[in-house]
Amino acid sequence: MPDEQLTNTSEELNRLSFRRQQLMDKRNILAMLIQFKRNNGQNEQQYSRETEELKEIDEQLNILSEKKIQLENRQRSSGRTHIIDTTVSTDVIIIESPPPYPAPRVILDVQQLPRHSSQTQCPDCHQFVTTDVTTKAGSATYIVCLISILFCCVAGCCVIPFCVDGCKDVVHKCPKCRSHIITCKKL
């Protein structure tokens, strides 16, 4: 029977702690609302409802604190105690919202690197880096140039593939150790 009573007391302390945390969160939000209204030049009559609600929350928190002390005393007097942290912080913590874009993906297999700068682990220095990307003329560039010559584009149009990055191969390099990671070929 004492074990059941100890378990009930522990569960009651957990519920009490949860309720206290809810009230503290509500209290912090109301305090921020009052501060906001005060900073925007509203007089006290315009946020008196919030002030009254804040006082009610403080009274409920005092009652819950007294119940918590009683439950802890009952738990200590039962002989065996479970240590439960039921403290609630009164600090206001402001959490920024996450950015609207997704986090960058780290690609560990360098064979799967795309044709743009990406985050990966350098195979030489083993650092997590964002690759430096350069382009160089590859086999696709020369093939497009030869095909344009075959179709009578001799007036300089045949060098256009050497100016377009979409026709070139992409070279990924480590920005820290400057080692070559991989070349993504167009063909």
User: Tell me, what amino acid is at 45?
Assistant: Q
Where does a domain end: 59, 77, 95?
Answer: 77
Same domain, 58 and 118: no
For 109-166, the three-class secondary structure string (H helix, E strand, C coil) is CHHHCCCCCCEEECCCCCCEEECEEEEECCHHHHHHHHHHHHCCCCCCHHHHHHCCHH
Angle between helices 48-77 and 2-39 (to 10 degrees): 160
Query: What are residue 159's phi and psi, to 5 degrees?
Result: -90, 0
Q: For residues 88 and 80, give the distance between their C-alpha atoms in angstroms, rounded to a whole number.
A: 24
| Same domain assignment for residues 18 and 66 | yes
Q: Is the Cα dihedral 111, 115, 119, 124 positive or negative?
A: positive
Residues 113 and 179 in one domain: yes
Same domain, 53 and 117: no
Which residue among 35, 59, 77 closes a domain? 77
* Domain around 161: 106-184
Domain tally, the chain: 2
- Give me the residue label for tokens 């003329």: 137
Instruction: Based on the fold, state whether residues 59 and 111 are members of the same structural domain.
Output: no
Task: Give the pLDDT confidence score for residue 85 in this predicted structure.
Answer: 47
**Same domain assignment for residues 111 and 167:** yes
Spatial CB neighbours of 187, under 8 Å, sequence gap ≥ 6: 138, 139, 140, 143
Residues 110 and 180 in one domain: yes
Domain boundary among 29, 61, 77: 77
Does residue 84 form part of some domain?
A: no
One-letter amino acid of 25: D
Domain assignment present for residue 113? The answer is: yes
Q: Does residue 97 sit within a domain? A: no
pLDDT at 1: 45
* CA-to-CA dists, residue 31 to 50, 109, 125, angstroms: 8, 51, 51
Contact of 182 with 172, CB cutoff 8 Å: yes
**132 falls within a domain:** yes
Same domain, 125 and 70: no
Q: Is 144 contained in some domain? A: yes
Identify whether 93 is part of a domain.
Answer: no
Question: Is 98 part of a structural domain of the chain?
Answer: no
Tens of pLDDT, residue by residue, the chain (187 residues): 466 777 777 788 888 888 888 888 888 888 888 888 888 777 777 667 888 888 898 899 889 888 888 888 877 776 554 444 445 555 556 666 777 777 778 899 999 999 999 999 999 999 999 999 999 999 999 999 888 888 877 678 888 889 999 999 999 999 999 999 999 998 8
For residues 86 and 17, the answer to whether their CB atoms sit within 8 Å is yes
Residue 92 included in any domain: no
